[in-house]
Amino acid sequence: MRTRLTDILDIEHPVMLAGMGGVSYSDLVVAVSEAGGFGCLGASTMSDDELDAEMADVRSRTDKPYGVDLLTAAGDQTAKVERIIAAGATVYVAGLGVPREVIDLCHAKGVLVMNMCGKVRHAVDAVEAGCDIVVAQGTEAGGHTGRIATNTLVPLIVDAVGDRVPVVAAGGIFDGRGLASALTLGADGIWVGTRFIATPEAHTVEGYKEKLVAMAEDDTTVSRAYTGKTCRVVRNRYTEEFEAAGGQAEPFPMQYIKSVQDGANHLGAEGRPEGFDPDKEFWPAGQGAGGIQDLVPAAELVERFVAEAEQALARAQGAVTA
Ligand SMILES: Cc1cc2nc3c(=O)[nH]c(=O)nc-3n(C[C@H](O)[C@H](O)[C@H](O)COP(=O)(O)O)c2cc1C
C-alpha cells in the first residue's frame, strides 16, 4: 500500500511501529521493518551502550530503513543523535518538543526528522523548524499524551501542514479500520504503539501483554504518577492511590525517579524484576487496548493492518448509497 509516507521513508506499507520507550527493542523493530512497515527503536529509557547495541543488532538483521525515538524533553540530544546517524538509522523521531538543535545535523547526513504533536501549534512549529514528517497523536494514545482526540486532531493538522509534509496519525489505532480512517482524514499513514506491545517480539516485563489482551477500552487513565507529565497508562492501585492523595507530582524527570524508587516503574526490564508488583507497574497503554484480543506476531500485524484497511475502504465506498 503506497502513499506519500511510504515514498519518503522508502518502505512498502504506511504502518509505523511507535518508538515506545522500554518496549520497542530490536526484535520488534526488525520484525516490522522486514514486513515492509517502519520499525522504530524506543530509546528514551536506553543508556548509550544499550542504544549502540540495539542499533547494531537491527543493522545486522535487516537492511531495511528504521528509526530511533528519543525524548527531546530530556535535554540536548546532539550526542545521541550523532550516534544514531553513525549507526545508519534513517529517521530520528523526537517525542515531547521540537529538536531544533539537531535538525540541520540530521539533514546534512540524509536523516529525516519526525516530530510527535498533540496540538496543531506543535505541528506548525515543527514544520517551521524544518521537521520532515509530523505525527498527529490523539489523546487516546498510550504514553505521554495531550487532550485532543485523534479524529479531531488529524484533519486539523492535515489542514495546517499537510501541504508541506506527510502527516502520520496516532492514538487508539488497533486494526486496519484505523488505517483506513487515518487515510480518509487526510493522513499518509499510521504510527502504532499499544497494539504492537501485544506481540511475541515486544520487550516487556511479565504480564504486561496479557493485561492488554484482558483489559477494556476504559481501563486506562491519564496520570502524572509515573513521570510528572500526563501519561496514559493502565489504571491500577498505584495510580488510584496517587489520585486519592491529591495527584501532586514532581516535575519530569523527578517523578520518574520517584516511581522507580517506589518500585512501580520497571519499564525497559524483562521477566519478573525484584519487587515487581503488576498492580503498581508503569504500563503505558492506549484506549485501543480494548480492541486487542490476542498476541499476534508483529509481521502478521503489519499484513493485517493493510488487508483490513483495504477491506474497510472498499466497504466505506459500498456504504454510500446513490
Ligand atoms: C509503552 C509506551 C511507551 C512509549 N514511549 C514513547 C517514547 O519514548 N517516545 C515517544 O515519542 N512516544 C512514546 N509513546 C507514545 C507512542 O509513540 C505512540 O504515539 C502511541 O503509542 C500511539 O498510540 P497507541 O498506543 O494508541 O497506538 C509510548 C507509548 C507506549 C504505549
For the Cβ of 95 lying below 6 angstroms from any atom of ligand 1, the answer is: yes
Could you tell me the pTM of the whole model?
Answer: 0.98
For the Cβ of 118 lying below 6 angstroms from any atom of ligand 1, the answer is: no
For the Cβ of 29 lying below 6 angstroms from any atom of ligand 1, the answer is: no
CB-facing half-sphere around the CA of 40: CA atoms within 13 A: 29
pLDDT score for 77: 85
Same domain, yes or no: 18 and 103: yes
Mean pLDDT calculated for residue range 251-261: 95
Same domain, yes or no: 141 and 251: no
For the cut 90, the answer to whether the pLDDT of residue 255 exceeds it is yes
Distance CA 229, CA 282 (A): 13
Centre of ligand 1 from the C-alpha of residue 143, in Å: 5
Q: Which residues contact 307 (CB under 8 A, 6 or more apart)?
A: 176
- For the stretch 274-293, pLDDT in tens is 989 999 999 999 999 999 99
Residue nearest atom 1 in ligand 1 by C-alpha distance: 284
Whole-number Cα distances in Å, 38 to 2, 11, 85, 314 = 13, 7, 17, 25
Domains identified in the chain, total number: 2
Instruction: Give the number of other CB atoms < 10 A from CB of residue 164.
Output: 14
Same domain, yes or no: 176 and 230: no
For the Cβ of 199 lying below 6 angstroms from any atom of ligand 1, the answer is: no
Instruction: Give the number of other CB atoms < 10 A from CB of residue 245.
Output: 9
Same domain, yes or no: 34 and 69: yes
For the cut 80, the answer to whether the pLDDT of residue 72 exceeds it is no
Same domain, yes or no: 244 and 132: no
Nearest 5°: phi and psi at 117? -135, 135
Degrees to nearest 5, angle at CA 1 with 163 and 67: 70
For every residue of 278-294, DSSP letters joined together read: TTT---B--GGGGG--S
Same domain, yes or no: 230 and 102: no
Mean pLDDT calculated for residue range 198-225: 98
- For the stretch 143-174, pLDDT in tens is 999 999 999 999 999 999 999 999 999 999 99
Centre of ligand 1 from the C-alpha of residue 87, in Å: 23
Instruction: For the chain, give the mean pLDDT.
Output: 96
Same domain, yes or no: 273 and 137: no
One-letter amino acid identity for 58?
V
Ligand 1 atom closest to Cα of 283?
A: 1
Mean pLDDT calculated for residue range 8-37: 98
pLDDT score for 320: 87
Percent pLDDT > 90 in the chain is 93
* CA 283 to the chain's CA centroid: 14
Same domain, yes or no: 251 and 191: no
Same domain, yes or no: 28 and 119: yes
For the Cβ of 178 lying below 6 angstroms from any atom of ligand 1, the answer is: no
Distance CA 23, CA 41 (A): 8
Same domain, yes or no: 111 and 236: no
Out of 20, 91, 181, give the residue to mutate to test ligand 1, the one with the largest number of ligand atoms within 8 Å of its CB: 20
Ligand 1 atom closest to Cα of 71?
A: 9
Distance CA 195, CA 291 (A): 9
pLDDT score for 73: 61
Pull the grid cell for residue 82.
Answer: 550523532
| CATH number assigned to the domain comprising residue 95 | 3.20.20.70
For the cut 80, the answer to whether the pLDDT of residue 306 exceeds it is yes
Longest dimension (CA), the chain: 63
Same domain, yes or no: 285 and 301: no
For the Cβ of 291 lying below 6 angstroms from any atom of ligand 1, the answer is: no
CB 117 within 8 A of CB 137: yes
Residue nearest atom 9 in ligand 1 by C-alpha distance: 95
Distance CA 235, CA 222 (A): 8
Radius of gyration (C-alpha) of the chain in whole angstroms:
18
CB 39 within 8 A of CB 192: no
Nearest 5°: phi and psi at 81? -65, -35
Mean pLDDT calculated for residue range 193-205: 98
Distance CA 316, CA 46 (A): 43
CB 219 within 8 A of CB 290: yes
Distance CA 301, CA 286 (A): 17
Closest CA to 228 of 211, 253, 195: 253
Centre of ligand 1 from the C-alpha of residue 227, in Å: 14
For the cut 90, the answer to whether the pLDDT of residue 96 exceeds it is no
For the cut 90, the answer to whether the pLDDT of residue 74 exceeds it is no
Same domain, yes or no: 111 and 183: yes
- The confidence band for 46, taking pLDDT boundaries of 50, 70 and 90, is very high
For the Cβ of 54 lying below 6 angstroms from any atom of ligand 1, the answer is: no
- For the stretch 221-242, pLDDT in tens is 999 999 999 999 999 999 999 9
The burial class, CB within 10 Å (0-12 / 13-18 / 19+), for 321 is: exposed
Domain region containing 103: 4-201+293-321
pLDDT score for 189: 98
Q: What angle separates helix 150-161 from helix 120-129, to the nearest 10 degrees? A: 30
Percent pLDDT > 70 in the chain is 99
